[in-house]
Structure 1
Amino acid sequence: MLFKLISLLIVLPNILLAQHTISGMFSPPKDYKVALLYKVTPTVSEYIANAEVQKDGSFQFQLDSAVTSGMYRIVYAVPQEDYNFDVIYNGKEDIMLSFNTETGVEFKSSSENKLLKSYTKSMSAVTQSISNYFRENKKDTMALNAIFKTQREAQSNFEKLAEKTIALQFIKANRPYIPKKYEDVKTYVSNLKKHYFDYVDFNNKTLQSSSFLEERMNNYVFGMSSEGVDETTNYKNNIDVFCNAMKDAPVAIKRILLVSLWQQMVDLDYEAVANYISKKQLIEIAKSLKDNELVDALTLYKNLSIGSKAPDFSFEIIKDDKKLTKKLSELGNAEKYIIVFWSSGCSHCLDEIPKLQKFLKSYKKEKIKVIAVGLEDDNKVWKEKIKSYPEFIHVLGLGKWDNKIGNKYGVTATPTYFVLDKDKHIIGKPDDIEALKALLIR
Structure 2
Amino acid sequence: MKKIVALIFLITSFAQAQFNLNGTLTNNLDTDWVILYKIEGPKQKFIKNTTIKKDTLLIDGNKQIIGSFNFQLPANAKVGSYRVSYRTSGASFVDFIFNKENISFAFHPDYPEQTVVFSESKENIVYRNYLSEVSKQQQKLDSLQITAIRNPQLDLKKNYKTTLNKINSIQQKYLENAKDMYVLPFIKASLRVNPSEIKTNANEYMSNMTSTFFDNLDFSNETLLSSSFLIDRITDYVFYINYSENTEKQQDLYKKSIETVFSKVKSPVFKKDAIAFLIEQFEASKNLELIDFLFKNYYDKLPKSLQSNSFKSEKLTLLAAEVGRIAPDFSWKENDKTLKLSTLKDAKNYVLIFWSTTCSHCLKEIPKLHKFLQDKEDIKAVAFSLERDALGWENMKITLPNWHHVLGLNKWENKVSRTYNISSTPTYFVLDSNKKIIAKPLTLEGLESFLSKL
State the AA in 1 paired with 2:361.
D
Equivalenced residues, count: 430
Alpha-carbon distance change, 135 to 384 in structure 1, aligned in 2, over 3 angstroms:
same
- Answer yes or no: is the 8 Å Cα contact 1:343–1:414 preserved in 2: yes
TM-superposition CA deviations, 1:157-194 (whole Å, max 9, x none): 22222222221111112232133344444333212211
- Alignment partner, residue 332 of structure 2: 315
Matched, 1:398 2:409: yes
- Answer yes or no: is the 8 Å Cα contact 2:21–2:72 preserved in 1: yes
Alpha-carbon distance change, 339 to 122 in structure 1, aligned in 2, over 3 angstroms:
farther
Alpha-carbon distance in 1 for matches of 2:398, 2:15: 71
Matched, 1:241 2:254: no
Matched, 1:84 2:93: yes
Matched, 1:93 2:102: yes
Matched, 1:151 2:201: no
Alpha-carbon distance change, 44 to 311 in structure 1, aligned in 2, over 3 angstroms:
closer
Alpha-carbon distance in 1 for matches of 2:427, 2:254: 29
Identity of aligned residues (%): 30
User: 1:339 pairs with 324, 332, 352, which one?
Assistant: 352
User: 2:312 pairs with 295, 304, 313, which one?
Assistant: 295
- Alignment partner, residue 161 of structure 1: 177
- Alignment partner, residue 212 of structure 1: 229
> Superposition pairs for residues 6-405 of structure 1, below 5 Å?
6=4, 8-10=6-8, 12-13=10-11, 15-17=13-15, 19-42=18-41, 45-56=44-55, 57-78=67-88, 83-104=92-113, 106-109=116-119, 110-136=121-147, 137=151, 138-185=154-201, 186-225=203-242, 230-246=249-265, 248-250=266-268, 252-285=269-302, 289-300=306-317, 303-318=320-335, 323-344=336-357, 349-352=359-362, 354-363=364-373, 364-379=375-390, 382-383=393-394, 386=397, 389-390=400-401, 392-405=403-416
- Answer yes or no: is the 8 Å Cα contact 2:41–2:228 preserved in 1: no
- Answer yes or no: is the 8 Å Cα contact 1:17–1:65 preserved in 2: no
Alpha-carbon distance in 1 for matches of 2:447, 2:122: 57
Alpha-carbon distance change, 235 to 426 in structure 1, aligned in 2, over 3 angstroms:
same
TM-score (norm 1): 0.85
Alpha-carbon distance in 2 for matches of 1:224, 1:71: 25
- Answer yes or no: is the 8 Å Cα contact 2:350–2:381 preserved in 1: yes
Alpha-carbon distance in 2 for matches of 1:396, 1:238: 47
Alpha-carbon distance change, 377 to 10 in structure 1, aligned in 2, over 3 angstroms:
farther
TM-superposition CA deviations, 1:90-135 (whole Å, max 9, x none): 1123323324223435133222212222222333323322322232
State the AA in 2 paired with 1:37.
L
- Answer yes or no: is the 8 Å Cα contact 1:17–1:64 preserved in 2: no
Alpha-carbon distance in 2 for matches of 1:17, 1:26: 27
- Answer yes or no: is the 8 Å Cα contact 2:91–2:111 preserved in 1: no
State the AA in 1 paired with 2:135.
S
Local SS of the residue matching 1:312: coil
Alpha-carbon distance in 1 for matches of 2:393, 2:108: 53
State the AA in 2 paired with 1:196.
F
Alpha-carbon distance change, 358 to 87 in structure 1, aligned in 2, over 3 angstroms:
same
Give 1:390 shift. 4.8
After TM superposition, the structure 1 stretch with the greater mean CA deviation from structure 2, 48-57 or 350-359, is 350-359
- Answer yes or no: is the 8 Å Cα contact 1:334–1:366 preserved in 2: yes
Alpha-carbon distance change, 183 to 336 in structure 1, aligned in 2, over 3 angstroms:
same
Local SS of the residue matching 2:252: helix
Unaligned runs of 5+ in 1: none
Alpha-carbon distance in 1 for matches of 2:79, 2:381: 61
Alpha-carbon distance in 1 for matches of 2:4, 2:426: 71
- Answer yes or no: is the 8 Å Cα contact 2:40–2:225 preserved in 1: yes
- Answer yes or no: is the 8 Å Cα contact 1:341–1:374 preserved in 2: yes
Report the RMSD for the aligned CA atoms in angstroms.
Answer: 3.0
Alpha-carbon distance change, 97 to 402 in structure 1, aligned in 2, over 3 angstroms:
same
TM-superposition CA deviations, 1:326-381 (whole Å, max 9, x none): 11123233332122234455xxx431453243145233252432222234454455
Give 1:25 shift. 1.9
TM-score (norm 2): 0.83
Alpha-carbon distance change, 287 to 90 in structure 1, aligned in 2, over 3 angstroms:
same
